[in-house]
Amino acid sequence: MTKLARQLGLFDATMIVMGGIIGSGIFINPYLVARQLHAPLLIIAAWALGGFVALSGGFIWAELAARHPELGGQYAYLREAFHPSVAFLYGWALLLVIQTGGMAAVAVTFARYFLELTGLPLADSVIAVLVLAILTLINCLGVRAGSSTQNLLMSLKIAAIGALVTCGFAFIPRPHAVITPVAEPLLSMDMVRACGAALTPIAFSYGGWQTASFMSAELRDPRRDLTRGLLLGVLGVVTLYLSVNLVYLRVLGPAGLAATTTPASSAMQSAIGPAGAAFTAAAIAISTLGFLSQGMLTAPRVYFAMAEDGLFFRAIAWVSPRTHAPAAAIALQGVLAVVIALSGRYEQILNYVISCDFIFFGLTAAALFVFRRRNREHTGYLVPGHPFTTALFTASCALIVAGTVYSYPKESLAGWLILASGIPAYLFWRKR
C-alpha cells in the first residue's frame, strides 16, 4: 500500500504555519480595532495581546505534536485524548464549514483583486474556480510541489508586507505620534466592552497556525520540525502584524485608521501616491492566493486520516503511487470549494465558522491535560507555564465562543446544526 512521503523540513513547516495565518485580514481588519480603541498604545497593546494568545496556542500545539506526531495532527489529538467521534466531528466541520467555506470566500476575494489589477472581462466566479482547480492540480502532483508553491507565495507575502512597512517608515515626512496619553479610563465597563470587541477580529487575524499540524505524516522529523516551525512561524507573524499596525498608526493616525475600510491602501497611497492602491491590490491578491495554497495543502490530510480510520469514504484514503499525495482527499477539498464558490453562499457559511472553530480550539488545548495525566514522561518539549497558560488559552476560546453566540445567535445555531449532522454520519461509518 502506497504511503505518504516524508519530504518536508523545518523551513517548510514554518512557511506553512505563517501561510495559514496571513490572509487578507492584516490588510483590512485593523480599522475594526481602531474603531473600538482610540489610543495608539491601546491598539498596539491589543494586537500584542492577540499575538500572545496565538503564541500560547503555538506552545500547546508544539507539545501536542511532540507527544503525538501522527497523521492528521489536531484530528489525532482529539481522537487520542477524547474519542474518535470528537475527532470525526472536527473533520466533518472542517470539510463542510470551517475550511471549505473559508477557501471559497478567499478564492472570490482573490478573484476580485486579480480582476482589479488585470482588467480582464471575466466574472469573479470564473477566476475563483480556475485558481481552485490549479491549486488542486498542483497539490495532487505531490507534497513537495504543493509545499514549494506555498513557500514561494509565503516569501512573496513577507516581501509585500516588508515593502509596506519600509514605505511607511521611509516616505512619510510628518508621521502621527504613536506614544500619546490614553484619554479613556482603563478600568471602566465601556473599556472592557471595547477591548472585547477589538480582540475578536484580532483573534481571527491570528488564527490558522494549527493547520500545520495536519502535515505531521509528511515531515521528516515531526517532533523537531513541527514544534519549532509552530513557534518560529507564530513569532514571525506577530512581528509582521505589530510592524504593520505601527505603520498604519504613523501614517494615518488612530482617527484616520478608524475612518478607512482599506487601511493598507490608504497608508500606501499616502506614502507613494496613486501607485499605492495598485501595490496593495497586488499584495492582497498574493496573500489570498498563498492562504488558498496553504489550505489546499493541509486540510485534505484530515479527511485522509478519517478515511484511514474507517470513518469516511474508503476511496478518500487513496494515495497516488506516483506522487505519494492523497489525491482523492485533495480533489474532494477542491471540488467542494468550487461548488460553494459558485453557489454564492460562502459569506453565509463563514458566519457559521466562528463558534465551531473555537470549540475545537478549546477542546484541543484541553487535550494536553489528558495527555499529561496519562503520561508524565518528558517528551523533549513542555509548554512553559502549564497548567496556567494552557488553562488561560482554553478559557480564551470559551469566551470567544460565548461572545460569538451572544452577538450572532442565528449563525452560531446554524453552525452547530451542521456540526450535529455529523453525529448520524459518524454512527453510519462506525457501524460499517
Compute the radius of gyration of the chain from its Cα atoms.
Answer: 21
Measured CA to CA, the distance from residue 75 to residue 87 in angstroms comes to 5
In a domain, 5, yes or no: no
The whole-model pTM stands at 0.89
Which residues sit opposite 8 in a β-bridge?
219
In a domain, 72, yes or no: yes
In a domain, 94, yes or no: yes
In a domain, 3, yes or no: no
Is residue 404 within 8 Å of residue 201, measured between CB atoms? no
Determine the pLDDT at residue 25. Answer: 83
- Measured in whole angstroms, the distance separating CA 186 from the mean position of its chain's CA atoms is 31
Residue 408 maps to which CATH number? 1.20.1740.10
Measured CA to CA, the distance from residue 13 to residue 221 in angstroms comes to 11
Peptide bond into 254 cis (omega under 30): no
- Contacts of residues 307-312 at CB distance under 8 Å and 24 or more positions apart, as own/partner, are 308/71, 309/79, 309/84, 309/87, 310/429, 310/432, 311/84, 311/88, 311/91, 311/426, 311/429, 311/430, 312/91, 312/429
In a domain, 4, yes or no: no
Number of domains in the chain: 1
Q: Among the residues of 213-326, which ranges form H helices?
A: 222-259, 263-272, 275-298, 300-308
Determine the pLDDT at residue 79. Answer: 94
Give residue 363's domain range.
Answer: 10-431
In a domain, 62, yes or no: yes
Which among 123, 126, 121, 128 is positioned nearest to 105, based on CA atoms?
A: 128
* Residues in contact with 388: Cβ distance below 8 Å, sequence separation at least 6, in sequence order: none
In a domain, 415, yes or no: yes
Measured CA to CA, the distance from residue 219 to residue 338 in angstroms comes to 29
Q: What is the mean pLDDT of each run of 10 residues along the chain (432 residues)?
A: 83 93 87 88 91 89 86 90 94 89 87 90 91 95 92 93 91 79 64 76 84 89 88 94 94 91 91 90 92 92 93 92 92 92 72 78 94 79 88 87 78 85 93 80
Determine the pLDDT at residue 250. Answer: 92
